[in-house]
Amino acid sequence: MAANIYIGEISENEAVQDNCFLMKIKVAPSFQNPLPGQFVMIRIAGLNDPFLSRPISIYSFSRNENYCVIELLYQVVGKGTRIMAGLIEDSQVEINGPLGNGFDTLSVKENIVMIAGGIGIAPLSMLTENLRRTHPLSNMMIYNGFQNASAVVGLDNMRRLCRNISVCTDDGTMGEKGFVTQIFQKDIKQYVPENTSIYACGPGAMLKSLAKILNKSKFSAQVSLEERMACGVGACMGCAVAIRDKDCTLAFKRVCADGPVFNLRDIIWE
Amino acid sequence: MAANIYIGEISENEAVQDNCFLMKIKVAPSFQNPLPGQFVMIRIAGLNDPFLSRPISIYSFSRNENYCVIELLYQVVGKGTRIMAGLIEDSQVEINGPLGNGFDTLSVKENIVMIAGGIGIAPLSMLTENLRRTHPLSNMMIYNGFQNASAVVGLDNMRRLCRNISVCTDDGTMGEKGFVTQIFQKDIKQYVPENTSIYACGPGAMLKSLAKILNKSKFSAQVSLEERMACGVGACMGCAVAIRDKDCTLAFKRVCADGPVFNLRDIIWE
Amino acid sequence: MAVKLGRLKLNNPVMTASGTFGYGEEYAGYVDLNRLGAVVVKGLSLKPRLGNPPPRIMETTGGMLNSIGLQNIGVEAFIEEKLPFLRKYDTAVIANIYGETYDEFKKVAKKLSLAKGVHALEVNISCPNVKKGGASFGTDPKIAARVTRTVKDETGLPVIVKLTPNVTDIAQIAESVEKAGADIISLINTLTGMSVDLNTRCPHLKNITGGLSGPAIKPVALRMVWQVIQRVSVPVIGIGGIMTAEDALEFLVLGAKAVEIGTANFVNPHATLDVIEGIKNYLADHKIKDINDIIGTFRN
Amino acid sequence: MAVKLGRLKLNNPVMTASGTFGYGEEYAGYVDLNRLGAVVVKGLSLKPRLGNPPPRIMETTGGMLNSIGLQNIGVEAFIEEKLPFLRKYDTAVIANIYGETYDEFKKVAKKLSLAKGVHALEVNISCPNVKKGGASFGTDPKIAARVTRTVKDETGLPVIVKLTPNVTDIAQIAESVEKAGADIISLINTLTGMSVDLNTRCPHLKNITGGLSGPAIKPVALRMVWQVIQRVSVPVIGIGGIMTAEDALEFLVLGAKAVEIGTANFVNPHATLDVIEGIKNYLADHKIKDINDIIGTFRN
Ligand SMILES: Cc1cc2nc3c(=O)[nH]c(=O)nc-3n(C[C@H](O)[C@H](O)[C@H](O)COP(=O)(O)OP(=O)(O)OC[C@H]3O[C@@H](n4cnc5c(N)ncnc54)[C@H](O)[C@@H]3O)c2cc1C
Ligand SMILES: Cc1cc2nc3c(=O)[nH]c(=O)nc-3n(C[C@H](O)[C@H](O)[C@H](O)COP(=O)(O)OP(=O)(O)OC[C@H]3O[C@@H](n4cnc5c(N)ncnc54)[C@H](O)[C@@H]3O)c2cc1C
Ligand SMILES: Cc1cc2nc3c(=O)[nH]c(=O)nc-3n(C[C@H](O)[C@H](O)[C@H](O)COP(=O)(O)O)c2cc1C
Ligand SMILES: Cc1cc2nc3c(=O)[nH]c(=O)nc-3n(C[C@H](O)[C@H](O)[C@H](O)COP(=O)(O)O)c2cc1C
Ligand code: FES
Ligand code: FES
């Protein structure tokens, strides 16, 4: 495994929205090029409080001969992310990565559909950038859902990358009113399972309802899951998610090492 | 008790020597004027690591109508003080104080002798400033001991306050060579117990040898002790020191609430 | 915010933990004692106790070790010198008592029952810091029961029995003291621990071992409170690592009728008041009128 | 830095703790396994185990709770798929074994004894996360002894018995497994704890309770290791909250012949190597030539 520990230096950590931040971290050039959907474990303090590292998807990545820059787009939801948001330029963080399996970017169909809920836009944004380069001819449609207008994040970058963008908010304060899965469902007839690749990331509830929609049909989708993590490298078995195994029996897979990207059909919901 | 909790704002935190720092903290005007020898409990991080607050003597204090400035002179010896040293301007700290009983500055004799070992100069410095004002006529002699020349701290301020200063270092790299208690012992004949007030602060070993010297004679001395502390307000009984009680029996007194200043004669050494 | 623990009525469920709030007066300058649910004073013994030789405390990750050895002024001095001050407040005063023999427990309980202004006794059968006795009382169900009975026979005050966590089966001890007549059960006391000074290769505490307290032990405290609540019917007081209102609410949700705040007072003398305010805000945010509507609402 | 634990020889006293280092390969990209004293693998059962439903972990102050429920691929898959990789290294491989019946312990021990490349067995009589059995084995001296004897009868490998801290008298259990033939005793496993999610008022862990690990428990681990070392003559391995070389040295000074590093690996995958380096530096600074000259130098 080519992931490793790096001392990162924060070169930027700006609020991009009420409680979302964009953090740019410089690491040594030996940092392996990440795949879209991979993440890092970030140790926020050298101290024991908070104790565990936090998993954050790689939002963007670039390198020059002297260093690499990892960009993280994150939302403040608790203690750890609050401390991250408070870190100033030049402060150091420990980075473990790149971790996990990214999205499958090889067998991509001619129609690409992205469904992002809230901060779930982070990994899909890097995926979009990547697919734009590798599959310039396939046509791409991106569905972005947010709680409300002031919760919108990462949209400008998406717009830069793709013309076909649908935006909705739960309360209709921006774009269409409704859940992103509902908006997508309205369009679903436009797509043919055989030539459509669907990628999704967002809250559990969103992915669950997406599963309801797709499992009625022949569509399959690659989705990125989230679970609390301790090690991030597959050693502790802490980030288990219930998956339908080859032989259709239930198995607990590790989001960090077997995922975070899974085939939506394989996920067993409570 | 007029001590209380204050949110302090660091206005300065400079290295005054290899591993000694001077921290200036702004607090609300309601902070009570401290007596020389009193201390504060400083909570370094809002987090639980390090867990306990740290006791630090008040090195200097000033106020204007808008705020008070508490100055702390501290040495980096471990985790907590290391973190203190890393705090930048404008960071906030929780201050509990002023705590403890200061030196007795009322019954002061015409000859004043100060004996400071290392960072022990901190409380004695404020005491000197105070006695200079309240007892301008008594003549003062200050003995300062340090490990070596590069460990010297707070001396300039002492020089500003008093002409009669003797400096020594364990290795002779500055001033006389020897322990400060030995240097004082050489001069002891110059002083008469009846009209001499002795104040001392420094490492346990120094105070112990001072006790050996003085207990042979009629001299008494007020010394400031140090112990690990949890509450700093007399509630936990954690900072106990063995003291000879009125009835000459052993009692465990609280350095924080019964001290930190004790009569050297009353201290029972191991 | 008032809660009832059997006969013991408190203005709110936030109490101080014995040994961490002195005799009340030490924190009276920081906290209006009238605002507390109860003040539990430092453990009292029949005669004044010298306590253990220093060093007595050491910081640990997320907590601290203490080996105070129950230094206290003794029950008589408490009644004469400390109780009058506490009587001035409209807050329940709870005397934490400690003995090395059944007879000592008996005598201390009796003296306090005759004194005016004590609202309940908390029986410390668990202090792990004193070499003689101490822990032993609380680690054997029969002995724990006998101490409970001994105290009950001497007093008409509500008797809170405070359990030690250094046992295999906390629920068994709880059931046993309940049968013996305990009106209320409080837990946990400190976990026994130690640490080594690598400069001297000696223990940091002169007493070698000490009691571990602070947020580090909260998960153990919550587990034991939950185990006990499932097995006894008397009210339970939750203790252990409470720093914030959220911490306190975890215990209340599990079914604790009240909580005691200990080590938190050291790092934040306003901790008790902050917890009370925080609980009020939580209830308001969740549109819960009565604190009792949150107690025991744990779902699993 | 080599140490001898009876017949078990280690290149250095720093081992990994079971369940925190996977099967070794998960960290092989971070740590040269050849530099470790030993790799202790995830607990192995006779058949593959699903483990507990998620959520399985929760952060606590200075530590974490886990209720993995011993998910593992089973002893056979381990021997076929994982052991060959570990054999490539010149580092002791220790199989941590777990069973819900004496017979399971027996069968697992037998299979591993026949496999090439296993240097010792660590018997987990203490896992507190599995509702059936688990803890119970380790909390009763007689049952603990019987498990020990059962395993000893099946194997010629050194048998390490790993104790649970959730007991009243750890030294009694230690003496009992020593008498039953344990070659080495390791401790501590996790302290049972829990925590409550105030948004849902449900436990954070689906399993309700879990095992507390990390620096928060170090003082308890040190105390128990010290208690055990005073009462048994077999080598003892210290486990619990070790994050740094200083932490490890505390256990060694008390008399532990080796240490296992667990949760620290999660927050710092280089933890084991950092501890080894740190111990070397400490020995150099104190002009101590042989690691064995520091072991058991505790003074009190
Ligand atoms: C593979 C992966 C990639 C992720 N990528 C991103 C990202 O790009 N941007 C981003 O903002 N967040 C991302 N997350 C979520 C992020 O890890 C959590 O929000 C963060 O760990 C919360 O830490 P905290 O201390 O602030 O919150 P806590 O105080 O620990 O918890 C606060 C709330 O956050 C929830 N939470 C805690 N940990 C997680 C977790 N691991 N996953 C989901 N919810 C959690 C808790 O249930 C609780 O409701 C990712 C998670 C995973 C597993
Ligand atoms: C009343 C009082 C006034 C003090 N005034 C000053 C001052 O003005 N300037 C200053 O630099 N220091 C002062 N100290 C000492 C200061 O409190 C300690 O140096 C500090 O708490 C160490 O914290 P740490 O986390 O850096 O060290 P730790 O990591 O906790 O310990 C490192 C070393 O410091 C020693 N130590 C820890 N706590 C104390 C303590 N409370 N007292 C003495 N030694 C300790 C330990 O034994 C250990 O050897 C004072 C102490 C007291 C009790
Ligand atoms: C310094 C100190 C002294 C204590 N003294 C007593 C005591 O005298 N009697 C008692 O029953 N518990 C005593 N305790 C235990 C506390 O009351 C409480 O049960 C324990 O600290 C756990 O709560 P906490 O984590 O909130 O501190 C003491 C605790 C500390 C830290
Ligand atoms: C996620 C996790 C899984 C564990 N699994 C096992 C196990 O399978 N068998 C075992 O004996 N101990 C297991 N343990 C206990 C550890 O080996 C160790 O005894 C305990 O965590 C204390 O050490 P630490 O504080 O360094 O982590 C596990 C601990 C954790 C955190
Ligand atoms: S976080 Fe440890 S296995 Fe996934
Ligand atoms: S530090 Fe608590 S009594 Fe002195």
Strands B250-254 and B240-244: antiparallel
For residue A126, pLDDT over 90 is answered with yes
Chain B hits for D61, CB-CB cut-off 8 Å, are 48
B48 touching chain D per CB within 8 A: yes
C202 tagged catalytic: no
- Which is higher by pLDDT, D87 or D100? D87
pLDDT tens profile B218-265: 898 999 999 999 999 999 999 999 999 888 889 999 999 999 999 999
Res. C134: pLDDT tops 50: no
Specify which residues B244 forms β-bridges with: B250
**Are C208 and D297 in contact (CB < 8 Å)?**
no
3-state secondary structure chain D: CCEEECCEEECCCEEECCCCCCCCHHHCCCCCHHHCCEEECCCECCCCECCCCCCCEEEECCEEEECCCCCECCHHHHHHHHHHHHHCCCCEEEEEECCCCHHHHHHHHHHHHHCCCCCEEEEECCCCCCCCCCCHHHHCHHHHHHHHHHHHHHCCCCEEEECCCCCCCHHHHHHHHHHCCCCEEEECCCEEEECEECCCCEECCCCCEEEEECHHHHHHHHHHHHHHHCCCCCCEEEECCCCCHHHHHHHHHHCCCEEEECCHHHHCCCHHHHHHHHHHHHHHHCCCCCHHHCCCCCCC
Confidence of residue A107 (pLDDT cuts 50, 70, 90): confident
CB pairs under 8 A between A and B: 13
**Shortest CA distance from D215: residue in chain C:** C61
pLDDT of residue D128: 47
Please name the residue of chain D whose CA is at the shortest distance from the CA of residue B50.
D62
Q: Give per-residue pLDDT as tens, C42-66.
A: 999 999 999 999 999 999 999 999 9
At residue A66 the predicted structure's pLDDT band, cuts being 50, 70 and 90, is very high
3-state secondary structure of C258: strand
Residue B146 in contact with residue B81, Cβ under 8 Å? no
Q: Which two tokens stand for residue B247?
A: 């009835």
What was the pLDDT predicted at A138? 87
- Measured CA to CA, the distance from residue D240 to residue B268 in angstroms comes to 38
DSSP per position, A212-262: HHHHTSS--EEEE-----SSSSSSS-TTEEEEE-TTS-EEEEETTTT-BEE
Q: How many Å from the N-terminal Cα to the C-terminal Cα in chain A?
A: 33
Q: Are strands A4-17 and A20-27 parallel, antiparallel or unpaired?
A: antiparallel
D110 close to D154: Cβ distance less than 8 angstroms: yes
CA–CA separation, C254 and A169 (whole Å): 37
Q: Quote the pLDDT of residue D215.
A: 98
Mutation target among D52, D57, D60 for the C interface, most CBs of C within 10 A: D60
Which positions in chain C have a beta carbon within 8 angstroms of at least one beta carbon in chain D?
Answer: 60-63, 65, 139, 166-169, 191-196, 198, 200-203, 208-209, 212, 214-220, 222-223, 226, 241, 246, 249-250, 253-254, 282, 297-300
- Could you report the per-residue pLDDT of C72-105, keeping only the tens digit for each? 999 999 999 999 999 999 999 999 999 988 999 9
Q: Indicate the length of chain D as a whole number.
A: 300
Alpha carbon of A42 to ligand 5 centroid (Å): 14
Closest-CA residue of chain C to B2: C29
ipTM above 0.85, yes or no: yes
Please report the pLDDT score of residue D272 as a whole number: 98
Position C127 scores a pLDDT of 58
Q: Which residues of A touch B (CB under 8 A)?
A: 45, 47-50
Distance CA C44, CA A32 (A): 64
- As for ligand 6, residues whose beta carbon falls within 6 Å of it are B 229-232, 234-239, 254, 256-257
Hey, are the CB atoms on C215 and D139 less than 8 Å from each other? no
Residues of chain B with pLDDT under 50: 1
**CB within 8 Å of C161: residues ≥ 6 apart:** C122, C123, C125, C144, C147, C148, C177, C182, C184, C185, C186
pLDDT greater than 50 at residue D132: no
Average pLDDT over residues D120-145: 75
Quick one: pLDDT at residue B121? 96
CA B240/CA D237 separation, integer angstroms: 35
Q: Which residue has the tokens 């010394």?
A: B223
Average pLDDT, stretch D207-215? 97
Amino acid identity, residue B57? S
H or E segment to which residue A132 belongs: helix A121-134
- Choose between B1 and D150: higher pLDDT: D150
Length of chain C in residues, anyone? Answer: 300
- How sure is the predictor about D273, in pLDDT bands with cuts at 50, 70 and 90? very high
| Residue type at B213 in one-letter notation | I
Q: Which of A129-138, B54-63, B90-99, C124-133 has the lowest mean pLDDT?
A: C124-133
Packing angle of the helix pair C102-114, C141-154 (nearest 10 deg):
30
Q: Which chain B residues have a beta carbon less than 8 Å from that of A47?
A: 45, 47, 49-50
Kindly tell me if the per-residue pLDDT of D135 is higher than 70.
Answer: no
CA-nearest of A145, A94, A99, A91 to A3 is A99
pLDDT in tens, C246-258: 999 999 999 999 9
Asked whether the beta carbons of residue C266 and residue B1 sit closer than 8 angstroms, the reply is no
Chains contacting chain A through 3 or more C-beta pairs under 8 A: B, C, D
Q: Give the closest residue to B145 by CA, choosing from B135, B132, B158, B136.
A: B158
Which SS3 state, helix, strand or coil, does residue A46 take? coil
End-to-end CA distance of chain B: 33
Neighbours of B245 (CB within 10 A): 12
**% of chain C with per-residue pLDDT over 90:** 93
Distance CA A131, CA A124 (A): 10
C201-249 confidence digits (pLDDT tens)? 999 999 999 999 999 999 999 999 999 999 999 999 999 999 999 999 9
Which tens digit of pLDDT belongs to each residue from C1-42? 999 999 999 999 999 999 999 999 999 999 999 999 999 999
Does ligand 1 lie within 6 Å of residue A169's CB atom?
no
Per-residue pLDDT, A1: 47
Half-sphere exposure of A194 (CA within 13 A, CB side): 0
Tell me the average pLDDT across D67-83: 94
Q: Fill in the DSSP letter of residue C142.
A: H
pLDDT tier at C126, thresholds 50, 70, 90: confident
Place of tokens 């808008």: B66
Which of the other chains make 3 or more beta carbon contacts under 8 angstroms with chain C?
A, B, D
**pLDDT mean across residues, chain D:** 94
Residues of D whose CB is below 8 A from B48: 61-62
Helix (H, G, I), strand (E, B) or coil at A188: helix
Q: Which helix (H) or strand (E) holds C297?
A: none
Q: Which of A256, A125, A109, A92 is nearest to A201 (CA)?
A: A125
Q: Find chain D residues with C-beta within 8 A of C226's C-beta.
A: 194, 208-209
Contact B127, B105 (CB under 8 A): yes
- List the Cα angle C244/C229/D131 in 5-degree steps: 100
Residue C87, phi-psi category: left (phi > 0), alpha (psi -120 to 50), beta (remainder): alpha
User: For residue C133, is pLDDT > 50?
Assistant: no
